[in-house]
């Protein structure tokens, strides 16, 4: 059994190494030729990773993990939010009323709108509570013998932060299975700000972890999820799908694994109006040119 997982892990490492090295070498060529737009990779190469005693493979993984770490978790969070919006239409309605009032139909939301969209911000927080992208947090190894509330934890033990149990504690959250963004209307600050509160009970949620090993991409992740959710709800109506006059109830279970990813589910996504559709097409044309 031990050999099996080690062999599998080695194959994964070789596979990822090939991908990241190819991207790294291609980026180096573009930096050398001056044919690259400003980005983290460009700045990292120009900072000379060798000064940090990093070899080529380590440097490639350093930049490659930016893609891997943020892509899956953000995607999982957005899929879970789409599921929630399908199951709880009242949340979509309230969010769209706020968007119509603050943004209007002539343009999509921008980052500058964030402070004026408290319900959207609350909706994002509730999504991360309702379906945290990582159910049990990153595994940590205890470096020395320890005690916690009368329980002995020997050195080398693996400790996990059970976000799922924390987020669904009925003693803290009324009807925790329900998706209720209004829970967070009294938590207007960023998740990064609530990481530093003295009392853990004052945290908004634990989806980004706790202690010294919190998600290093918390600022990017929260802003990314916010702008995606705001624009999706501004542009589209999301509801349960109807086939032959019958409503299809979405599957609410998650796929097995480390990430909390919803199983494949059916839902209806349609433009809110022809005006919204027109703006979407124009935005696509602009983005397509930039890319």
Is 215 one of the annotated binding-site residues?
yes
Q: How far apart are CA 95 and CA 234, in angstroms?
A: 8
Range 251-257 average pLDDT: 85
Decide: 119 and 290 in contact? Cβ < 8 Å: no
Encode pLDDT of 70-96 as tens digits.
778 899 999 999 999 999 999 999 999
Mean pLDDT of the chain: 92
Encode pLDDT of 102-142 as tens digits.
999 999 999 999 999 999 999 999 999 999 988 777 788 89
Encode pLDDT of 162-213 as tens digits.
888 999 999 999 999 999 999 999 999 999 999 999 898 999 999 998 888 8
Give the start-end residues of each E strand in 72-198.
140-141, 146-148, 151-153, 158-159
Domain 48-286: which topology?
Cytochrome p450 (1.10.630)
160 has a pLDDT exceeding 90: no
- Share of residues in the chain with pLDDT > 90 (%): 69
Q: How far apart are CA 201 and CA 138, in angstroms?
A: 21
Residue ranges per domain, the chain?
48-286
**Per-residue confidence (pLDDT) for residue 206, from 0 to 100:** 93
Confidence of residue 161 (pLDDT cuts 50, 70, 90): confident
**Per-residue confidence (pLDDT) for residue 3, from 0 to 100:** 64
User: Tokens at residue 20, please?
Assistant: 């990241």
Confidence of residue 291 (pLDDT cuts 50, 70, 90): low
Confidence of residue 260 (pLDDT cuts 50, 70, 90): confident
CB environment 89-111: b (16+ within 10 A), e (fewer): eebbebbbebbeebbeeeebbee
Helices (H), 115-245: 118-130, 163-167, 191-194, 218-235
């Amino acid at each position: 059994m031990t050999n099996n997982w080690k062999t599998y892990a080695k194959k994964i490492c070789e596979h990822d190494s090939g991908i990241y090295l190819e991207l790294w070498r291609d980026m180096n060529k573009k930096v050398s030729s001056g044919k690259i737009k400003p980005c983290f990779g460009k700045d990292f190469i120009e900072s000379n990773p060798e000064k940090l005693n990093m070899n080529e493979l380590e440097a490639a993984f350093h930049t490659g993990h930016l893609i891997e770490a943020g892509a899956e978790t953000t995607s999982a969070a957005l899929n879970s939010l789409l599921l929630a919006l399908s199951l709880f239409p009242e949340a979509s309605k309230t969010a769209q009323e706020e968007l119509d009032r603050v943004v209007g139909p002539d343009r999509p939301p921008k980052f500058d709108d964030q402070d004026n969209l408290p319900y959207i911000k609350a909706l994002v927080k509730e999504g991360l509570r309702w379906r945290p992208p990582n159910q049990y947090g990153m595994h940590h190894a205890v470096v020395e013998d320890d005690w916690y509330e009368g329980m002995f934890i020997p050195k080398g033990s693996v400790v996990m932060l059970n976000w799922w149990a924390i987020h669904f504690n009925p003693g803290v959250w009324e009807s925790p299975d329900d998706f209720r963004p209004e829970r967070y209307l009294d938590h207007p600050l960023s998740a990064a700000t609530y990481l530093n509160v003295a009392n853990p009970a004052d945290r908004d949620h634990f989806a980004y972890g706790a202690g010294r090993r919190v998600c290093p991409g918390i600022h990017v992740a929260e802003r990314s999820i916010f702008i995606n959710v705001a624009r999706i709800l501004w542009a589209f109506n999301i509801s349960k799908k109807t086939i032959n006059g019958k409503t299809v109830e979405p599957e609410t279970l998650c796929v097995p694994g480390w990430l909390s990813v919803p199983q494949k589910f059916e839902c209806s996504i349609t433009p809110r109006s022809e005006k919204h559709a027109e703006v979407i097409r124009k935005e696509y044309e602009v983005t397509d040119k930039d890319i």
